[in-house]
Amino acid sequence: MTKQQQLLVDFITMDIIRFLIEDYGLSMMDAMDRVYYSKAFSKITDPETGLYLYGSAHVYEKFKGELTKGLTAPTAG
């Protein structure tokens, strides 16, 4: 993986962690665990998939089911 590819992966990963925190109220550590130990992360970091070329929101939506399994969004109030 080139430095540019790794940089794109890092940006996507940071965004997905932020999305999990915002959408599900996870702590930073919990969100990081969900991402780094997921099958999705191995696909994002595989240059052959080309997923690092897509936007963070697209990648998040593609893998949201896996990343959020067992989670419910917090209710307002």
Centre a 10 Å sphere on the Cβ of residue 62 and count the other Cβ atoms it contains: 15
Q: Over the stretch 58-76, which tens digit does the pLDDT of each residue have?
A: 999 999 988 888 877 676 5
Predicted structure pTM score: 0.88
Q: Over the stretch 1-56, which tens digit does the pLDDT of each residue have?
A: 899 999 999 999 999 999 999 999 999 999 999 999 999 999 999 999 999 999 99
Gap between the Cα atoms of 11 and 23, Å rounded: 18
pLDDT value of position 75: 60
- Full DSSP string of 1-70: --HHHHHHHHHHHHHHHHHHHHHH---HHHHHHHHHTSHHHHHHT-TTT-GGGS-HHHHHHHHHHHHTTT
